[in-house]
Structure 1
Amino acid sequence: MAVPKRKTSKSKRDSRRAPNMKMKAPGLSECPQCHEPKLPHRVCPNCNYYDGKDIMAD
């Protein structure tokens, strides 16, 4: 079994891990009712519509 000769420094270890730690911006879609940006598959926070229906209606 392969064994490392020297301890891997924190900077070397962290620089290798860094590309996988990037945060991605959420993909936004346009609400068909009010045309505001919203997260897909969720109720629009602006007009409270989802799938053409008013969800927060009394």
Structure 2
Amino acid sequence: MALPKRRHSHSRTRMRRAHDALTKPSVGQCPECGEAKMRHQLCGGCGMYKGRSVIRLEEEIS
């Protein structure tokens, strides 16, 4: 395995780490109930995904 001969400078290390920042998750709105939800995820409020009911919630069962 290759080993570096010299250490990297702080500037070079920080330039490499410039792209490691975290991004906020993209949040959309459910078209059925209007609750905030993650994109491409099931809505936790109504159980809908892409216009169809995927799961039945306990509120609907009772």
TM-score band w.r.t. shorter chain: 0.5 to 0.7
State how far apart, in whole Å, the 1-side matches of 2:52 and 2:8 are: 57
Equivalent residue number for residue 8 of structure 1: 8
Unaligned runs of 5+ in 1: 1-5
Equivalent residue number for residue 39 of structure 2: 40
RMSD in angstroms over aligned alpha carbons?
Answer: 1.9
Q: Percent identity?
A: 29
Paired residues, what number? 52
State how far apart, in whole Å, the 1-side matches of 2:25 and 2:37 are: 10
Which amino acid letter does the alignment assign opposite residue 22 of structure 1?
A
State how far apart, in whole Å, the 1-side matches of 2:7 and 2:50 are: 56
TM-score between the two structures when normalised by the length of structure 1? 0.68
Unaligned runs of 5+ in 2: 1-5
Runs of 4+ aligned structure 1 residues displaced above 6 Å come to: none
Equivalent residue number for residue 52 of structure 1: 51
